Structure 1
Amino acid sequence: MSRMKKLHEVTIRLHEAVAKDSEDQREEKIEKINHLLQEREEILKEVKPPYTDAEKQIGRHLLPINQEIDDKLQSVFFEIKKDMATMKKKKSSNTKYTNPYKNLSNYDGMFLDHKK
C-alpha cells in the first residue's frame, strides 16, 4: 500500500472517529482519536516529495477533510475545557456550601482596648 493510501485510510478513520457525537464514551473516543493521530503522524513522516500525480490528487482530496477534522477537534477541545471549568466551579461551590466561613478573616470587626 502506498504511503498516500495509508494516509488517506487513517485520515478517513480519524474523520469518522471525530465526527461521532458520543458524550457517554468520551474517554474511549479521545483514546481512539489519540491513537489515530499518532498513527497518522508516523505516516506523515514517511510522506516526502517528489509526489506522483495520484498522490497529489489524494492530497487535494484530504485537505478539506483535514480542515473538518481540525474544526471538530477544536470543538471537542473547547467542550472539554468548558466541562473542566464547570467541574471546578461545582467543586468551589460545594466547598463554600459545606464551610461558608472558611475564607473570612478572623480579625474582621475586632476592637482591642489598650486602656488599663
Structure 2
Amino acid sequence: MNRLLPIYQLTESMKLLLLQDITLNNREEIIRLFHEKMEERGKLLEAMVPPYTEEEDELGRIVVQMNQEIEKKMNRLFMDLKNEMKQVQQQKKSTTSYSNPYKNVQGLDGMFLDQKK
C-alpha cells in the first residue's frame, strides 16, 4: 500500500479548497478549513520515514508540484487580504480627516503671542 496516498488526498483537497470562489463572506471559513487540513497533513508528513518505493517517489513529486500551486494561491489570497486591510486603514484616515480637518495641522500660523517687556 502507498503510504503517501493520504497526504496526496489531503493536498488535493487543499488545492480544491483554494480553487473555490473566495469572497468576503466565506474567506474566513476557507482559511480555517485550509489550516485544519494543513495541520493534519503536517502530522502525516512527520510520520513518513524512508525508504520510499518508486511509486511513493512519483506520488511525492506530484505532491510537491501541487504544493507549489497551493503556495501561489495562498500568496495571492494573503496579498488580497493585505490590500483590503490597507484600504480599510485609508478609509479610516479619510473619515477622520473629513470629520476633523485641523487635527494634524502643525505650527503656530495665525496665532498671536503677547509678550511683556
Give ranges in structure 2 of 5+ residues lacking alignment.
none
Contact kept, 8 Å, 1:11 with 1:66, in 2: the verdict is: yes
Superposed, which structure 2 residues align to 1:32-111 within 5 Å? 32-105=33-106, 107-111=108-112
Alignment pair present for 1:7 and 2:11? no
Structure-2 residue corresponding to 1:20: 20
Measure how far apart 1:2 and its partner are.
4.7
Any stretches of 5+ residues in structure 1 without a counterpart? none
Please list the CA deviations of residues 79-103 of structure 1 after superposition, one character each: whole Å capped at 9, or x if unmatched: 1011111111111111111111111
The root-mean-square deviation of aligned C-alpha atoms, in Å, is 1.8
4+ aligned runs moved over 4 Å, structure 1 = none
How far, CA to CA, are the matches of 1:5 and 1:88 in structure 2?
45
Does structure 2 conserve the Cα–Cα contact (< 8 Å) formed by 1:4 and 1:58?
Answer: yes
- Normalising by structure 2, we get a TM-score of 0.88
How far apart are the structure 1 equivalents of 2:70 and 2:87?
A: 26
Q: TM-score, normalised by structure 1?
A: 0.89
Q: Identity, % of aligned pairs?
A: 37
Measured against aligned partners, the alpha-carbon deviations of 1:32-91 in whole angstroms (never above 9, x if no partner) come to: 111111111111111221111111111122222111101101100101011111111111
- With 68-77 and 95-104 compared, the bigger mean Cα shift is at 95-104
Q: Which amino acid aligns with 1:53?
A: E
